[in-house]
Amino acid sequence: MISDLIKNRRAVFPVQYNEQPIAKSAIEKILEAANWAPTHKKTEPWRFKVLTGTSKERLGEFLSKKYQEVDPRPKQIKIRKLLENPKRAGAVIAICMQRDPKESLPEWEEIAATAMAVQNMWLCCAEMGIGAYWSSPGLIKYMGEFFELNEGEKCLGFFYMGYTDEEIPEGVRQPIEEKTTWL
- How do beta strands 131-135 and 153-162 pair? antiparallel
What is 136-153 written as a DSSP string? --GGGGGGGGTS---TTE
Give the residue from 95, 114, 96, 92 showing the smallest Cα distance to 151. 96
Residue 98: what are its φ and ψ, rounded to 5°?
-100, 110
CA distances from 80 to 73, 77, 142 (A): 14, 5, 19
Instruction: Extract the annotated binding site for FMN.
Output: 40, 134-136
How wide is the angle at C-alpha 87 spanned by C-alphas 82 and 93, nearest 5°?
Answer: 85
Instruction: Extract the annotated binding site.
Output: 40, 134-136
Alpha carbons within 13 angstroms on the beta-carbon side of residue 25 total 0
What is 107-120 written as a DSSP string? HHHHHHHHHHHHHH
Residues 29 and 79: beta-carbon distance below 8 Å: no
